[in-house]
């Protein structure tokens, strides 16, 4: 029986093969190979990194998409730096094309998140939705001790303040 875990495992295998293929094509002696598919260098970079980013979203469903997008950008920048070491040339334009592919897929995923929020919380303000988000840590509300008014004597000891705030329990009969 097909389960979501099967899709994750398949996506991880596809991601591994895709990343290896992209690395071989970008770092190997295959300069200009994208012309066989009717693409120029920049569009090939955008398609490759957009595809790898999309597959990584499926391969790692528990990771934040922004972290995966940043990893793809770092991978693209690293590939350009490695190209400087060999007999190929690094290009800031290639890295920018990588970023276009990554952010196209990342932006599409944000649209899907907005659609989900509209379905589930259509009339709720964003501030309330953010408060309901269980992934965000809640700031502890400060414990305020009552401020003594002019006529009251300020309680100096901790035990006295605690006794005032938390009265003793009634004893069981």
Report whether pLDDT(161) > 60: yes
pLDDT digits (tens, 9 = 90+) for 9-39: 999 999 999 999 888 887 777 777 777 788 8
Q: pLDDT of 75-112, one tens digit each? A: 999 988 888 887 777 789 989 999 999 999 999 999 98
Mean pLDDT score, 38-62: 92
Q: What is the pLDDT of residue 88?
A: 74
Distance, CA of 97 to CA of 146 (rounded, Å): 60
Q: Is the pLDDT of residue 150 over 60?
A: no
DSSP state for residue 173 in the 8-state scheme = -
- For residue 146, pLDDT over 70 is answered with no
Where exactly are the structural domains of the chain? 4-132
| Alpha carbon distance 7, 47 (integer Å) | 22
């Amino acid at each position: 029986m097909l389960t979501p875990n099967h899709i994750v495992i398949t996506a991880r295998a596809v991601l591994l093969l895709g990343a290896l293929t992209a690395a071989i094509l970008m770092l190997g002696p295959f300069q200009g190979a994208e012309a066989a598919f009717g693409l120029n260098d920049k569009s090939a970079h955008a398609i490759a990194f957009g595809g790898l980013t999309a597959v990584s979203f499926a391969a790692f469903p528990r990771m934040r998409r922004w972290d995966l997008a940043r990893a793809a950008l770092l991978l693209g920048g690293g590939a350009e730096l490695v190209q400087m070491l060999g007999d190929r040339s690094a290009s800031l334009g290639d890295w920018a094309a990588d970023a276009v592919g990554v952010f196209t897929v990342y932006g599409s995923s944000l649209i899907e998140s907005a659609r989900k929020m509209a379905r589930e919380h259509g009339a709720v303000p964003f501030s309330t939705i953010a408060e309901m988000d269980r992934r965000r840590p809640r700031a502890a509300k400060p414990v305020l001790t009552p401020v003594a008014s002019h006529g009251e004597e300020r309680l100096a000891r901790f035990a006295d303040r605690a006794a005032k705030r938390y009265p003793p329990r009634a004893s069981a009969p």
